[in-house]
Chain A
């Protein structure tokens, strides 16, 4: 039950905003967001749990709509350092393995 991410790729100018979506066909317990730069390991951004609130730090935030079985990652006033591939990982119940989406490639240009 691999989640579906959209868009597949996005190009922004520095300072613009972006939204990345992650949808599942199954009910979810949690959604995890990671960013991976080319040739590097994925780096944790945030976890959203069922029944939890929207989370965020700095200019990156995320929401989790349990009824729609989807999560969105919001990047505001994008910086060059935001470039990379963003993955969502979904957990169907507590302690179950994460299923990662295929990723969304984000490029921020000057």
Chain B
């Protein structure tokens, strides 16, 4: 069974530029998550989708971050404009139904904002 796929794996941008990350969850998984992990910290949930509806986006900085889940499968997370403090690893995860189920994480995208 294929795991969660993410791209790109690494990205370096200047502050105020925009960037987009892509995630393809495990086939059949209804719930998809985007986490931000700052060095030395645990993952922090940015947004949770169930199918193509948003379940929780309370910690998403909506003035600069946006996310969508196309047809309830793939998802894109965008940052526009980026700030220095956005430097982090962005992890995508998916689970079969809800957050009570096992979450399977992708390899992450390491973002560096200069």
Q: Can you list 11 A-B pairs with a CB-CB distance of less than 8 A?
A: A32-B102, A41-B108, A42-B91, A42-B105, A44-B104, A89-B43, A91-B99, A95-B99, A96-B99, A98-B99, A103-B42
Known contacts A41-B108, A42-B91, A97-B56; A87/B43 CB under 8 A: yes
Chain A residues with Cβ below 8 Å from B105 are: 41-43
Known contacts A98-B45, A103-B42; A44/B99 CB under 8 A: no
Q: Is A30 an interface residue (CB 8 A)?
A: yes
Q: Indicate if the CB atoms of A41 and B91 lie closer than 8 Å.
A: yes
Task: Name the one of A2, A40, A47 contacting B107, with C-beta atoms under 8 angstroms.
Answer: A40
Q: Indicate if the CB atoms of B42 and A47 lie closer than 8 Å.
A: no
Count chain B CB atoms within 10 A of each CB in A41, A44, A96 and give the residue with the most. Answer: A41
Q: How large is the interface on B (under 10, 10 to 19, 20 to 34, 35 or more residues)?
A: 20 to 34
Which residues of B does A touch, CB under 8 Å? 33, 40-45, 48, 55-56, 91, 98-100, 102-108
Q: Indicate if the CB atoms of A91 and B100 lie closer than 8 Å.
A: yes
Which residues of A does B touch, CB under 8 Å? 2, 29-30, 32, 40-44, 47, 49, 87, 89, 91, 94-103
Task: Name the one of B45, B103, B107 contacting A44, with C-beta atoms under 8 angstroms.
Answer: B103
Q: Indicate if the CB atoms of B41 and A102 lie closer than 8 Å.
A: yes
